Amino acid sequence: MSQPQFSFRTSRGPGLTVGVLSILMGAFVIAIGFGFIHTVGGSGINAPCWVLAVFGGTFFIAGLWSIFQRAAGEGTLRASWMNFVFGLLVMLAISIICLWIGFGPGERLFVQDVGIGVTPTTRPVDPTTGRIFFGIFGVLMSGATVAFAVRQGRKLIRRGDKAA
Which residues are bridge partners to 121 per DSSP? 114
Query: Which residue would you say has higher pLDDT here, 107 or 25?
Result: 25
At 71 the pLDDT is: 73
pTM of the predicted model as reported, rounded to 2 decimal places: 0.78
At 70 the pLDDT is: 72
How much is the average pLDDT of 112-133?
83
- Segment 54-89, tens digit of pLDDT: 999 999 999 998 888 777 767 778 888 888 999 999
| Contact call for residues 26 and 60 (beta carbons, < 8 A) | yes
Query: What percent of the chain has pLDDT above 90?
Result: 45
Integer Cα distance of 115 and 130 in angstroms: 20
For every residue of the chain, which 3-state class applies, written as one string? CCCCCCCCCCCCCCCHHHHHHHHHHHHHHHHHHCCCCCCCCHHHCCCCHHHHHHHHHHHHHHHHHHHHHHHHCCCCHHHHHHHHHHHHHHHHHHHHHHHHHHHCCCCCCEEEEECCCCCCEEEEECHHHHHHHHHHHHHHHHHHHHHHHHHHHHHHHHHHHHHC
